[in-house]
């Protein structure tokens, strides 16, 4: 089982599980940071990240997701290459212009591939690949 | 782990203070570009002579967004 760990970012004594992932759709890898959010069903990046991947945003499958205020936001799903540490795989991720939070989000779909352990005492998050 | 990854994690709080609401490009231990979009941040970094695969792009949250999320 391959594993990789990431230190938490800290802001005003709060632990923030923010990690770098690399994305691509055939060109060069682009490293973008994302917040690990087990409360999000989908992995969602803001629509502007789609631009650097040469993705035609609205050509993807459109779904709606409920956000914290009870409203719905449109998300367009696209299959991209994703790299976490040295692990590379393809995954469908969402892009939205109305994400409305300060982070890109790694959602529950990433937990299908990894056992994710939040170790608050050690201030780190551990990803262990199931494959 | 790339130098930029460790540096961003260690300096996150000051990055939020300085660049909240923007995208930054980081190479090693240096902010090489600041912009409103990742595309612009990447282009600025490339114009500064950086290899795009070395640029780490961080959407820096505003202070109030951190309170909302957390």
pLDDT digits (tens, 9 = 90+) for A23-56: 999 889 999 999 999 888 899 999 999 999 999 9
Instruction: Provide DSSP, A79-103.
Output: EEEEEETTEEEEEEEEEETT--SSS
A82 within 8 A of A23, measured Cβ to Cβ = yes
> Can you list the positions of beta strands (E) in B1-70?
23-27, 30-35, 56-59
pLDDT tens column, B10-49: 999 999 999 999 999 999 999 999 999 999 999 999 999 9
**What does pTM read for this prediction?**
0.94
Interface contact B32, partner A, CB < 8 A: no
ipTM above 0.85, yes or no: yes
Contacts of A33 in chain B (CB under 8 A): 8, 56-59
Which of A5, A8, A9, A38 best tests the B interface by mutation, with the highest count of B CBs <10 A? A9
Q: List the beta strands (DSSP E) in A17-60.
A: 18-24, 30-36, 44-46
Number of domains into which chain A is organized: 1
- Determine whether the interchain pair A33/B16 forms a contact, defined as Cβ–Cβ distance below 8 Å: no
The CATH number assigned to the domain holding A101 equals 2.40.70.10
Q: Each residue of A54-78: pLDDT tens digit?
A: 999 999 999 998 877 778 899 999 9
Closest residue in chain B to residue A85, using alpha carbons only: B1
In terms of residue numbers, what domain contains A45? 3-129
Q: How many CA atoms lie within 13 A of A54 on its CB side?
A: 7
Q: Which pLDDT belongs to residue B70?
A: 41
Residue A115: CB partners within 8 Å, gap ≥ 6?
A127, A128, A130
Residue A104, SS3 per DSSP: coil
Give the gap in angstroms from C-alpha B21 to the nearest C-alpha of chain A.
7
For the cut 80, the answer to whether the pLDDT of residue B67 exceeds it is no
Specify the pLDDT at position B68: 58
pLDDT for A69: 73
* Residue A110 token pair: 């990433």
Of the CA atoms within 13 Å of residue A39, those in its CB half-sphere come to 6
């Amino acid at each position: 089982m391959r594993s990789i760990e990431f230190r938490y970012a800290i802001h005003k004594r709060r632990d923030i599980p923010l990690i770098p992932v690399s994305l691509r759709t055939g060109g060069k890898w682009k490293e973008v940071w994302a917040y690990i959010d087990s409360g999000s069903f989908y992995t969602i990046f803001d629509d502007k990240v789609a631009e650097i991947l040469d993705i035609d945003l609205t050509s993807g499958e459109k779904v709606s997701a409920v956000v914290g205020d009870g409203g719905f936001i449109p998300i367009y799903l696209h299959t991209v290459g994703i790299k976490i540490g040295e692990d590379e795989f393809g995954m469908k991720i969402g892009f939205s212009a109305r994400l409305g939070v300060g982070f890109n989000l790694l959602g529950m779909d990433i937990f299908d591939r990894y056992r994710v352990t939040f170790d608050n005492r050690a201030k780190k998050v551990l990803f262990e690949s199931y494959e | 782990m790339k130098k930029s990854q460790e540096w961003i994690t260690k300096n996150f709080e000051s990055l939020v203070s300085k660049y909240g609401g923007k995208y930054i490009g980081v190479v090693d231990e240096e902010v090489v570009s600041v912009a409103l979009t990742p595309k612009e941040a990447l282009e600025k970094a490339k114009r500064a002579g950086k290899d795009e695969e070395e640029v780490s792009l961080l959407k820096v949250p505003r202070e109030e967004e951190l309170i909302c999320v957390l």
